[in-house]
Amino acid sequence: MSHLSLANIIKTYPNGFEAVRDVSVDIAKGEFTVFVGPSGCGKSTLLRMVAGLETVTQGTITLADRVINDLEPARRDIAMVFQNYALYPHMTVYKNLAYGLVNRGFPKAEIDRRVREAAEMLQITEYLDRKPQQLSGGQRQRVAMGRAIVREPEAFLFDEPLSNLDAKLRNHMRLEIKRLQRYLGTTAIYVTHDQVEAMTMADRIVVLNKGKVEQAGTPAEIYHDPASLFVAGFMGAPAMNMLEARFEDGHMILPGNIRVHALARPDRDEATLGLRPERITITRTPVNGTALPFQLDLVEELGAGRLLHGRVGETPVTVSTSGDGEVPADDLHAEFPAAAMHFFDKETGARL
């Protein structure tokens, strides 16, 4: 039973731009769903339609068995965390948290209880009397979270809430948001363009591209079983290696006249071969005729591991290896299991 459902949502702007084209997503109660995609993919538009800040051209949005398409934002029982926090600069943190409740006519004691509880949860109790200007970015982010929490809504909406924080804080807040959402058990939609955030935070990821759902699934599904070239290329850092492959009587031919035995092949003669960098092993002594010659150009030392940037024939390929041992030099080969090979249609990008 889905708690928040988007059914056949279409958004067309008056100027004719189709921001969202027939998107359907079902979100279970308490699920943390991440909408991810490049800028302009319609993820924010989708979120804002759920919030009621954009009108829905076509389709139905249902939250807790209630169609909310035409409800005022304030009456949808959702709370949103904005990218720039959107705190009221002239109000203290306490008033910022309380404002939404005051406007809904909650009794004073109840407001106070909720505000203090949320502040406790977010460890901002000592800042309740300060104004937003006197807070650091991370603290403001917490206040913005607090404003959503005190509402005790049916659903949280996050619009790229971490993009204004520095990298270290972002990793920390990422975890914290996830933990809070788990603790509260509130259904959440989280919009981001950062695939790391998507992978680490989501119960389920919805990958959007050009206003359409490319794939929806758990982070593991999305990563290991990408439904299209787009998903494969977008998710994962470093990105999946893509090689244009041709198949001829049991052989795979790659640009630059590389010819090896094909471990697996698609149902057609030409396809794009996708290989995750960490599924490739580099060796000096290839065991069989399926290893590709790998010419190393550059080594990126990451501490915990190494990225080897090089070429297979004419195609640039990145390999992720463990960091120990000596940096390999020349005469290298790239090996991978058949299970690591993903094939995509060259034209449509669809998984084969």
Q: Residues interacting with another protein, by CB under 8 A? A: 51-53, 72-75, 78-80, 82-84, 86-90, 99-100, 103-104, 133, 147
CB of 216 to another protein, least distance (A): 26
CB of 293 to another protein, least distance (A): 53
Q: Which is nearer to another protein, 8 or 84 (CB)?
A: 84
Give 142's contacts (C-beta < 8 A, 6+ positions apart).
122, 123, 124
Of the candidates 143, 101, 98, 104, which has an alpha carbon nearest to the alpha carbon of residue 121? 143
CB of 72 to another protein, least distance (A): 8
CB of 135 to another protein, least distance (A): 13
Q: Which is nearer to another protein, 64 or 220 (CB)?
A: 64
Query: What residues pair up with 4 in beta bridges, in sequence order?
Result: 27, 63
Q: Which is nearer to another protein, 140 or 174 (CB)?
A: 140
Work out the burial of residue 186: count CB atoms within 10 Å of its CB; fewer than 13 is exposed, 13-18 middle, 19 or more buried.
Answer: buried
Query: What residues pair up with 94 in beta bridges, in sequence order?
Result: none
CB 41 within 8 A of CB 209: yes
Q: Which is nearer to another protein, 53 or 258 (CB)?
A: 53
Three-state secondary structure string covering 189-258: EEEECCHHHHHHHCCEEEEEECCEEEEEECHHHHHHCCCEHHHHHHCCCCCCEEEEEEEECCEEEECCCE
Which tokens hold the place of 40?
């302009």
CB of 90 to another protein, least distance (A): 4
CB of 16 to another protein, least distance (A): 19
Q: Which is nearer to another protein, 48 or 276 (CB)?
A: 48
Q: Which is nearer to another protein, 153 or 236 (CB)?
A: 153
Q: Which is nearer to another protein, 100 or 138 (CB)?
A: 100
Q: Which is nearer to another protein, 155 or 202 (CB)?
A: 155
Q: If you search the block for the tokens 């991978």, which residue do you land on?
A: 336
Please give the distance of CA 190 from its chain centroid, rounded to a whole number: 8
CB of 285 to another protein, least distance (A): 59
Work out the burial of residue 291: count CB atoms within 10 Å of its CB; fewer than 13 is exposed, 13-18 middle, 19 or more buried.
Answer: buried
CB 315 within 8 A of CB 255: yes
Q: How far apart are CA 54 and CA 15, in angstroms?
A: 15
CB of 53 to another protein, least distance (A): 5
Residues shown for the chain: 352
